[in-house]
Amino acid sequence: AGGAYKWHCDGAWRESTSGKTVGVSNPATRAREYEVQACTQAEVDEAFAAAKAAQKGWARTPLWQRAALLHKVAALMRDHAQPMADCLVKEIAKPSKDALSEVIRSADLIDYTAEEGLRALGEGALLTSDSFPGQTRNKLCLVSKVPLGVVLAIPPFNYPVNLAVSKLAPALMAGNAVVLKPPSQGVVAGSHMLQCFVKAGLPKGLVNMVTGKGSEIGDYLTGHPAVNCISFTGGDTGIAISRKAGMVPMQMELGGKDACIVCSDADIDLAAKAVLKGGFSYSGQRCTAVKLVLVVKEVADALAAKVAAGVEKLRVGMPEDDCDITPVVSESSANFIEGLVEDARQKGAKFLTPYRREGNLIWPTLLDHVTPEMRIAWEEPFGPVVPIMRVASADEAVAHCNANNLALQGCVFTRDINKAIAISDAMETGTVQINAAPARGPDHFPFQGFRDSGIGSQGIRNSLAMMVKTKSTVVNLD
Ligand code: G3P
């Protein structure tokens, strides 16, 4: 396994005793770009043991010292942003500018988490007993927040750096240790990111990274007795993890079928721009991408024409050239997307732009007259395909959204704020954006999927709050 990227345990970068590696393919060239270690179950045990041992001392490290170390990590990430971004271009075909912004956004997230953690975790509470019936003021309850222990962080391929630090930074700031399992594609960018944590001078063993196929070590990791918290972003696997996991707090962000509801009084130019950006940025490979447009019939032709005109202008090509549309992450993903498009074609969808594919590169595809009988009305392509469904009313649109098990975000376009709030209230989804495309950021906003889209709220404040438990000490007075 020499020459392959190493895994990280107890302060050292190591080769696996398995002698095996896992290849990382470049989605654009489909050639093997990197090799990483295929860790064994015994190595997973070692990572958890190192984390558990290091966490004891870290829990006693003053908050201001934890914050100072995290600020160092953020500075190192800014200093090394370009090489990390270059890996993202090669591993996940993210357009070069977006790849760089992912790293900078991640450094900002770490700084914010350090600052927020200093204030939020530095506050506790004092309760007196005499507010409860029959009690006197003879008991003082001192409430503080203490770490959970070891957090297992599993980020997805589409944000291997950002969705790793959104787990690592709050976990560490709150006094926890971490075992990170990076996605198979994105693992090298993840290794560079982890090196910034290591170089900042965190105690050895506090952050560990095991690599290998999720299908081989995933269950072992998530069912490990040393896990005290799981923070996972990805697909349906999260549902299986949460069913099997023990009694540990979980944060799961899974799929989405974010709908864009366009009302008759909407600013159509604004809505069209949002559909274009929301639907096609990073080739639709975002949980929060616009994955269905529900437009009322009166304005459907106007909206469809404007979006189609925008799609024609999107640059299709390679991530190194910072094209808008780049190859999707894998051949199996491209095949899945194609399956949804073909199903829609057979059931009568109208293609406003032609479907075209070369290898993993899929040209942006806009489908109109999509009906509820088509799979694409319900499933997420995670690719550059946007379906338009024409509806009689906003109520019909809301009913369609609420009938889907995926319920991450959604958006509504109208000039009437009363209508917008009513629609937001009616939509049973984690976040509704009014007059803008769905998006997770700014990263301190709460972020939670409903139903099969997840459990546990994210966002910096909520992640900090989720990664601690409440400790009470009661002083009993004479
Ligand atoms: O797909 C991951 C999800 O968290 C999307 O994030 O920033 O693209 O809205 P963002």
Nearest to 44 by CA among 303, 230, 220: 220
Residue-wise pLDDT tens digits, 227-258: 999 999 999 899 999 998 989 999 999 999 99
Range list of H helices, 245-319: 268-280, 297-313
Radius of gyration of the chain (CA): 24
pLDDT of 1 > 60? The answer is no
430 CA → ligand 1 middle, Å: 13
419 CA → ligand 1 middle, Å: 27
Sign of CA dihedral 96, 98, 99, 103: positive
Residue-wise pLDDT tens digits, 93-108: 999 999 999 999 999 9
Hey, what are 135's tokens?
A: 């009690």
Work out the average pLDDT over 173-185.
Answer: 97
Work out the average pLDDT over 210-214.
Answer: 93
Choose one of 159, 167, 253, 380 to mutate for the ligand 1 pocket test, by most ligand atoms within 8 angstroms of C-beta. Answer: 159
Work out the average pLDDT over 186-199.
Answer: 98
| pLDDT at res. 221 | 97
Residue-wise pLDDT tens digits, 314-351: 999 999 999 999 999 999 999 999 999 999 999 999 99
| pLDDT at res. 216 | 87
Percentage of the chain with pLDDT > 70?
100
pLDDT of 77 > 90? The answer is yes
Q: How far apart are CA 386 and CA 289, in angstroms?
A: 9
| pLDDT at res. 314 | 98
Q: Whose CA is nearest to atom 7 of ligand 1?
A: 440
Burial (CB count <10 Å: 0-12, 13-18, 19+), residue 244: exposed
221 CA → ligand 1 middle, Å: 24
Sign of CA dihedral 377, 380, 386, 391: positive
Q: How far apart are CA 310 and CA 301, in angstroms?
A: 14
Residue-wise pLDDT tens digits, 198-208: 999 999 999 99
- Residue 439 in contact with ligand 1 by CB distance below 6 A: yes
Range with the poorest average pLDDT among 2-16, 300-314, 411-425: 2-16
Q: Whose CA is nearest to atom 2 of ligand 1?
A: 287
Q: How far is CA 52 from the centre of its chain?
A: 26
- Residue 440 in contact with ligand 1 by CB distance below 6 A: yes
Q: Whose CA is nearest to atom 8 of ligand 1?
A: 286
For the CA of 447, the closest atom of ligand 1 is 4
288 CA → ligand 1 middle, Å: 5
Residue-wise pLDDT tens digits, 293-307: 999 999 999 999 999
| pLDDT at res. 2 | 56
Work out the average pLDDT over 203-218.
Answer: 95
For the CA of 159, the closest atom of ligand 1 is 2
- Residue 287 in contact with ligand 1 by CB distance below 6 A: yes
pLDDT-derived band of residue 214, with 50, 70 and 90 as boundaries? confident
| pLDDT at res. 222 | 97
Range list of H helices, 24-157: 41-59, 63-79, 81-92, 96-121
Q: How far is CA 238 from the centre of its chain?
A: 12
| pLDDT at res. 3 | 79
Residues with catalytic function: 253
In sequence order, what are the residues at sequence separation of 6 or more whose Cβ sits closer than 8 angstroms to the Cβ of residue 79? none
| pLDDT at res. 33 | 94
Q: How far apart are CA 258 and CA 254, in angstroms?
A: 12
Q: How far apart are CA 307 and CA 257, in angstroms?
A: 19
For the CA of 287, the closest atom of ligand 1 is 1
Q: How far apart are CA 174 and CA 396, in angstroms?
A: 44
pTM: 0.97
139 CA → ligand 1 middle, Å: 46
Q: Whose CA is nearest to atom 3 of ligand 1?
A: 287
- ipTM value, please give it: 0.95
Question: Could you please report the per-residue DSSP string of 158-204?
Answer: TSTTHHHHHHHHHHHHTT-EEEE---STTHHHHHHHHHHHHHTTPPT
- Residue 251 in contact with ligand 1 by CB distance below 6 A: no
3 state SS for 104-128: HHHHHHHHHHHHHHHHHHCCCEEEE
| pLDDT at res. 98 | 98
Residue 387 near residue 370, CB atoms below 8 Å:
yes
- Residue 158 in contact with ligand 1 by CB distance below 6 A: yes
Residue-wise pLDDT tens digits, 82-141: 999 999 999 999 999 999 999 999 999 999 999 999 999 999 999 999 999 999 999 999
Work out the average pLDDT over 7-18.
Answer: 98
Work out the average pLDDT over 43-63.
Answer: 98
Q: How far apart are CA 346 and CA 424, in angstroms?
A: 34
Residue 464 near residue 120, CB atoms below 8 Å:
yes
Sign of CA dihedral 101, 106, 109, 110: negative
Q: How far apart are CA 250 and CA 228, in angstroms?
A: 9
Q: How far apart are CA 121 and CA 141, in angstroms?
A: 17
pLDDT of 57 > 90? The answer is yes
| pLDDT at res. 215 | 86
Residue-wise pLDDT tens digits, 16-34: 999 999 999 999 999 999 9
| pLDDT at res. 202 | 98
Instruction: Indicate the residue type of 142.
Output: L
Choose one of 88, 163, 408 to mutate for the ligand 1 pocket test, by most ligand atoms within 8 angstroms of C-beta. Answer: 163
For the CA of 440, the closest atom of ligand 1 is 9
- Residue 337 in contact with ligand 1 by CB distance below 6 A: no
* Eight-state DSSP code of residue 94: -
Residue-wise pLDDT tens digits, 455-464: 999 999 999 9
Average pLDDT, the chain: 97
Percentage of the chain with pLDDT > 90?
98
* Eight-state DSSP code of residue 284: G
Choose one of 104, 288, 408, 445 to mutate for the ligand 1 pocket test, by most ligand atoms within 8 angstroms of C-beta. Answer: 288
Q: How far apart are CA 443 and CA 359, in angstroms?
A: 34
In sequence order, what are the residues at sequence separation of 6 or more whose Cβ sits closer than 8 angstroms to the Cβ of residue 198? 8, 11, 207
Please state whether beta strands 229-233 and 150-154 pair in parallel, antiparallel, or not at all (unpaired).
parallel
212 CA → ligand 1 middle, Å: 24
291 CA → ligand 1 middle, Å: 13
Q: How far apart are CA 384 and CA 283, in angstroms?
A: 5
Strand partners, 139: 476
440 CA → ligand 1 middle, Å: 5
- Residue 382 in contact with ligand 1 by CB distance below 6 A: no
User: Which residue has 């809505």 as its token pair?
Assistant: 271
| pLDDT at res. 371 | 98
Question: Could you please report the per-residue DSSP string of 359-420?
Answer: TTEE--EEEES--TTSGGGTS---SSEEEEEEES-HHHHHHHHHTSSEESEEEEE-S-HHHH
Work out the average pLDDT over 34-59.
Answer: 97
Burial (CB count <10 Å: 0-12, 13-18, 19+), residue 267: middle
